[in-house]
Structure 1
């Protein structure tokens, strides 16, 4: 397969720390356990017959609307739960508080740029969360192309978002490579002709990127 010219990084779980760590940090802030929060998020999506997180990632609900539903579902699923420390109507501000970028993936991003590859961010995200997550990835500097699901009205793994991204970058699908921690997203990207790397950990991802790009220097970024 030809070497890609456009390398896309997912935000959550790739440029950010692993999502499980963020869930655990949120429990410290609020007392809501990861299992409780995940079940409630799914409950809100189920009410709308949508995939998990889709209601806010494509803007079907505003953050305050979603947070209000989340509080109701949490209370229904967990009678007596204490939500006093949770700011659910402004969820993103509290969720991202204290979160910093994955330094190894930041170095990989910059190394690719420095060696002639175009780089982009392809993220399922939320309109109101923009100031917080974009501040987290500020260490990567200027992003050549940023595709946010809440801006374009569709999300990974929808085929349309990959078409939008390639068109925005001005490249053919075969020139794109996506780094993502969700296999479902990578399957969808490959179906659109993209190349992919599954993020499992930093070391493996750097090795896979080195194999695809031929950049030996990636191995020294750990």
Structure 2
């Protein structure tokens, strides 16, 4: 029986990363094709290939700070004018379009009322999290840069399970990145690949055998 929910933040409890990035690309006049080429290489290496490490590994574990990563990334990118974008505040601008998805927060409140434990498991990019009501929705919070571990590393999932006192087989993990879902499943944790709130909540209802709010 599933009695625990591990859940991502960006792109799951917020609107999609791609939407936020699209707004930033337009606002900063970034060369979008070049950006996607650069990021595809970095992300594929960080989440799929697994050989060696790059700046994303270090950023997500908190081994380098945000300004250092911003300088590195800005040097790789180009604006439509052919010059690198302004490095200072780059990450803040990239994620400025994130909007809270209230339906997902309502769902977390509902599952906790029904005795299900909840744990945030988020890879941070030196970003600030809106934590005002987190004590109402999470039993534990695991943020990569604060614990020195990152998804899809097995150890961050073990750490999250320890924080809520459950075994992998007792939990489900919700994330918008497939590589993270596959890593969780390898540890016996059920996985839901998040695409939108209604679909994820419906899948959780089936798995948890609960009726959850969707509005």
Q: Give TM class, smaller chain.
A: 0.7 to 0.9
Higher fraction of helix: 1
Equivalent residue of 2:149, what SS?
coil
Report if the CA contact (8 A) 1:41-1:70 is conserved.
no
Residue in 1 that maps onto 2:179: 184
For residues 6-25 of structure 1, the aligned pairs below 5 Å read 6-25=4-23
Q: Residue 120 of structure 1 aligns to a residue in which SS?
A: strand
Aligned counterpart in structure 1 of residue 53 of structure 2, from 45, 50, 54: 50
Structure 1's unaligned 5+ residue stretches are none
| Pairing 1:25-174 to 2, within 5 Å after superposition | 25-41=23-39, 49-50=52-53, 53-75=56-78, 80-83=81-84, 86=86, 88-126=87-125, 128-129=126-127, 132=128, 134-135=129-130, 138-142=132-136, 143-174=138-169
1:12 match: secondary structure? coil
What's the Cα RMSD here?
2.6
Sort the Cα spacing of 1:51 and 1:181 in 2 relative to 1 into closer, same or farther, 3 A.
farther
- TM-score, normalising length from structure 1? 0.81
Aligned length: 208
Q: Does the C-alpha gap of structure 1 residues 33 and 15 become closer, same or farther in structure 2, counting only changes over 3 Å?
A: farther
More displaced stretch, 6-15 vs 108-117? 108-117
Instruction: List per-residue Cα deviations over 1:31-66 (Å, max 9, x = no partner).
Output: 2255433433456677x9426732311123221111
Runs (5+) with no aligned partner, structure 2: 46-50
The alignment's TM-score, normalised by the length of structure 2, stands at 0.84
* CA deviation profile, 1:72-104 (whole Å, cap 9, x unmatched): 1114xx7843445x4x33333323335321122
